[in-house]
Amino acid sequence: MTSVSERLLELKKKRNAIILAHNYQLPEVQDVADQVGDSLGLSRLAAKTEAEVILFCGVHFMAETAAILAPDKKVLLPDLNAGCPMANMVTPRQLREWRTAHPGAYVITYVNSSAAVKALSDICCTSANAVAVVQQAPEGRELLFVPDRNLGFYASQKSGRPLSLWNGFCPTHERMLPEMAVAAREKHPGAILLAHPECRPGLLAHADAVASTTGILDYCLQSNAKEFIIASEIGMLHPLRRENPDKVFYPLTEVADCPNMKLNTLEKILWALEDMEPEVTVPPDIARQAFQPIKRMLEL
Ligand code: CIZ
Ligand code: SF4
């Protein structure tokens, strides 16, 4: 009997599909992927690949971004219920109302948002480029930042630019508390503490460095240190350990486990390839409008 991963790899070839997995996916899902990375890096790969089908193992907004950047390809998400609670914290209607209440404001939208929200934005940012995006925002205009209040607060602090923050957050990163950093430092003195900017400001204050998932991976690859405490979603531990077999990684806490990211399983990937669904599509007018703020970010 062949295993699920053998069957899905066979079917992947037959379907001319590429499997892209986010850094937060289950280890076994990352292990069957053609590429593992952050949402934007994966969407860029989706846009350039020769494959006809993109099986995106991540959450819904990531598959939407891939569909926007690769409009001629079929994008599958193994479980359509894999949404991002933070992305759902701002609806297009709410953003339209916020804009109306702040005429002339410039809207900066974190990629963790729906395509419909991106379509109402001036520019997008990721956790890797938020500071740069805020720094280059036009002078003399109010800057609105959606949906992540923590990333927005961090980018505002780093850039010195005042931002009006939407009150969204990542429930998984929000679970990490400053006292956990104090405890982890006591337990692992000498370890480097790296935190994702979706964490609370009080926790970021304890970090040696604040970085996106790709930033954390790069930092650990280049560092001479041997021990790291990771304040990000625990899926990150898998690529970190795989890339750095000589280094030791401790999660700040095991509770930073995003249940949405973990909805994609090997069985569901196999079913998605068998049935060629669930497919994620973006209506053409929204895709066209959402492409503009993404393009502005990519041009930076
Ligand atoms: O953009 C991404 O992939 C997310 C959600 C986080 C990150 O830091 O890469
Ligand atoms: Fe959304 Fe947070 Fe899960 Fe990422 S880790 S998908 S931001 S809920």
Q: Characterise 160 by phi-psi region: left (phi > 0), alpha (psi -120 to 50), beta (else).
A: left
User: For residue 1, what pLDDT is reported?
Assistant: 56
Mean pLDDT throughout 116-132? 98
Pocket test of ligand 1: the residue of 20, 30, 36, 38 to mutate, having most ligand atoms within 8 Å of its CB, is: 38
Overall pTM > 0.85: yes
Strands 164-165 and 143-146: parallel
Matching CATH number, 87-171, of 1.10.10.10, 2.30.40.10, 3.40.50.10800, 3.40.50.300 = 3.40.50.10800
The pLDDT value recorded for residue 252 is: 98
Give the DSSP H or E segment for 210: strand 209-210
Give tens-digit pLDDT for 196-212: 999 999 999 999 999 99
Q: Which of 125, 166, 170 to mutate to test the pocket of ligand 2 (most atoms within 8 A of CB)?
A: 170
pLDDT for 61: 98
Atom in ligand 2 nearest the alpha carbon of residue 170? 2
- Residue with CA closest to ligand 2 atom 7: 170
Residue tagged 């974190």 (tokens): 110
Whether the per-residue pLDDT at 2 is higher than 80: the answer is no
Average pLDDT over the chain, rounded to whole?
97
Note the pLDDT of residue 134: 98
Please tell me the distance from the alpha carbon of residue 168 to that of residue 191, in angstroms, as a whole number: 31
Q: What is the separation of C-alpha 269 from the centre of its chain, rounded to a whole number of angstroms?
A: 20
- 146 φ/ψ sector (left φ>0, alpha ψ -120 to 50, else beta): beta
Q: How far apart are CA 71 and CA 58, in angstroms?
A: 18
Domain with CATH 3.40.50.10800 in the chain: 4-83+261-283, 87-171, 176-251
| Residues belonging to the chain | 300
Percent of the chain with pLDDT over 70: 100
How far apart, in Å, are the Cα atoms of 4 and each of 14, 99, 264, 265, 271?
15, 48, 14, 10, 10
Q: Is 258 in the pocket of ligand 2 (CB under 6 A)?
A: yes
Query: What pLDDT score was predicted for residue 138?
Result: 98
**What radius of gyration, in Å, describes the C-alpha atoms of the chain?**
19
Q: In degrees, to the nearest 5, what angle opens at C-alpha 242 toward C-alphas 53 and 252?
A: 105
CA angle 72, 58, 147 (to 5 degrees): 95
Query: Is the CB of residue 260 below 6 angstroms from any atom belonging to ligand 2?
Result: yes
**pLDDT of 127:** 97
Mean of pLDDT values over 32-51: 95
Nearest to 233 by CA among 116, 85, 19, 66: 85
Q: Which residues line ligand 1 (CB under 6 A)?
A: 22, 38-40, 111-112, 126-127, 196, 212-214
Pairing state between β 106-110 and 53-57: unpaired
**How many Å lie between the centroid of ligand 1 and the Cα of residue 127?**
6
Amino acid at 11: L
Element (H, E) at 53: strand 53-57
Domain 4-83+261-283 CATH class label: alpha beta
Amino acid letter, 106: Y
Say whether pLDDT at 11 is over 60. Answer: yes
Superfamily of domain 176-251: NadA-like (3.40.50.10800)
